[in-house]
Structure 1
Amino acid sequence: MDITNPSPYFLAVLFFIVAFTYSSVGLAGGSSYTALMAIFGFNTLAIPMISLSLNLFVASIGSFNFIRNKHGKIKLIMPFLISSMPMAYLGGALRLPKAIFYWILLISL
């Protein structure tokens, strides 16, 4: 297997492991999806959208279970939901040069 052209099944398994591991502690794993895609040579314009989509999917499942089991109050959660959605969109829409993107990724992880 070439690192720049991984099998879709291999990536699916890696993403599942990340999702399972991070969601078990209440996180969604967005930074790890980003790192994996950067390692495997994904297009830097595609990485934020894929990472945010996976993050949204995993976080939605965790949030649904959290609320369903009555661990949180919707009045407390709503301000975070309302403010985080547009900020996530703005972050995903931000275009950075490839070199700066990799430096920020390196420093943040």
Structure 2
Amino acid sequence: MVRHPNAGAVLVIGLGCENNQVAAFRETLGDIDPERVHFMNCQQQDDEIEAGIEHLHQLYNVMRNDKREPGKLSELKFGLECGGSDGLSGITANRCWGVSLTT
């Protein structure tokens, strides 16, 4: 989601004691726009709520003037994953996606 083109800005939050550390996750992302993607480790903050709000204000100020651009529906691409949730997703979800994408 961090690199998704429709995400105007992203705040990645970690507690600091989880297996997937924010710093390690950040390294996997490669080149990102630091004005639009912020990272916060809660255990490194005196007040994580206040710090999070400050990050969100900064991100909002960067993206608040972004404009939507018209595009063709025929150029829209979907990425699907089968079986990610349970054994029935391939039976139920794929049929729904198939019908919606062909109509």
Same fold flag (TM > 0.5): no
Q: State TM-score, norm by structure 2.
A: 0.29
Between Structure 1 and Structure 2, which shows a larger proportion of helix residues?
A: 1
Between Structure 1 and Structure 2, which shows a larger proportion of strand residues?
A: 2
Larger Rg: 2
Q: State TM-score, norm by structure 1.
A: 0.28
